[in-house]
Amino acid sequence: MTTRHRPVSAWLRCLVGRHPLSRRSDRIQARMLALAVMMTLVAIPMSVSPARAYQAEVLSRSETQLRTLRPVDAVVLPPAASASPSRTPSAARVVRVQWKSAFVERTADVQTRAIARPGDHIRVWLDAHGDPTAAPLSPSDATGQAVAYGIAIWLSITVACAALYLLMRRMLDRRRLAGWEQEWRRVSDGGWANRDR
């Protein structure tokens, strides 16, 4: 059971400089790993603040849209004979709808994710000119976008820390391999192994 914890124990002993076989490069690598892990943990609260600011910005944009846009009840019309059926039921599709605006019936193509059949009533949002536009963002949409924004920030910091650690480890590995090569060259050129001959 203790064998599972030996790598962690060895890393901790190397981190504090108490491992008997640790070299200076091993201690540097252990401390770089500890710093990368610490930065990854510190990045969690660091990504929350900009995510909240982004959420507030999206909510403010949504309130502006709610003041400028207006919903209307539209009826889905049968598709044109030349229109090909959608092969992706879950994706947004374009349907032809008709609604009444100022006693005038208007027709337009709008996108909807709901399964809309001819004769169904769907809500269509109109801009200040009376043209169909995208629906305003809901608070749940704003929260989802803010969470995705925060996760993207955290992932960026984590990837940067991992890349810096791997780059540093590669440089240290090259130094260690160069040291090994130098020691082997010393042995093969009549070094300490041939001292008694």
pLDDT in tens, 46-87: 899 999 999 999 888 888 888 888 888 888 888 765 455 555
**Does 76 share its domain with 167?**
no
Q: Which amino acid is at 142?
A: A
* Helix, coil or strand: residue 143: helix
Tally of domains in the chain: 2
CA 31 to chain CA mean position, Å? 27
Residues 84, 129 share a domain: yes
What is residue 8's predicted lDDT score, i.e. its pLDDT? Answer: 58
Sheet (strand 93-101) strand order: 104-112, 93-101, 70-76, 121-126, 132-133
Residues 147 and 181 in one domain: yes
Q: 163 lies in a domain? A: yes
The answer to the question of residue 47 being in a domain is yes
Q: What is the pLDDT of residues 133-162, one digit of tens each?
A: 888 888 888 889 999 999 999 999 999 999
Share of the chain above pLDDT 70, in %: 77
Residue 93 near residue 112, CB atoms below 8 Å:
yes
Rg of the chain over Cα atoms, rounded to whole angstroms, equals 32
Could you tell me if 57 and 75 lie in one domain? no
Give the residue from 135, 161, 179 where a domain finishes.
Answer: 135
Residue 167: give the domain boundaries. Answer: 13-62+140-188
Do residues 118 and 175 both lie within one domain? no
82 and 129 co-located in one domain: yes
